[in-house]
Structure 1
């Protein structure tokens, strides 16, 4: 019984860490993966670096976006889920 009470603070610390850090990060990763797979040609997006554009082509891991200065090929993971969603709700 005494051995369990010695490890109880570490166990509680891990449980708190799991519920406040690990679990929300896993949920966010699932949402981002769903967002990346739902992209389609014609969607208006904003990249994490701030480029605004419209999707012209889609491949397995990258997209080609049309911007005012031309076309750019970027990775799907470089598209900001939050800013693109805010852009979509503002335009709709």
Structure 2
């Protein structure tokens, strides 16, 4: 009787395991990579927003916002979470001693 109950739940357990490795785990990895990309954004990086706007980061604020220059003297405030991609990274500024 006990073995029969385990045999009935085995396909359900296998389906969950397959879904975890094919759907859930890759999605968590993608979200983690996106968070790391957002945390690494700094002044001078060229970014693309989820709305498709391409611009250069002119200021990184502490409250989850960045200021992006989309044209000469045209700056917009964008939430960091809405960045889709960082096209080009700038080199870190050398520390002066």
- TM-score for both structures, normalised by structure 2: 0.82
Q: How many residues align?
A: 85
Within the alignment, does 1:64 sit opposite 2:67 as a pair? yes
Aligned with residue 49 of structure 2, among 44, 47, 50? 47
**Greater percentage in helix:** 1
Unaligned residue ranges in structure 2 (runs of 5+): 90-97
If you compute each CA radius of gyration, which structure gives the higher value, 1 or 2? 2
Unaligned residue ranges in structure 1 (runs of 5+): none
**Superposition RMSD on alpha carbons, in Å?**
1.5
Runs of 4+, deviation exceeding 2 Å: none
Within the alignment, does 1:4 sit opposite 2:6 as a pair? yes
- TM-score for both structures, normalised by structure 1: 0.86
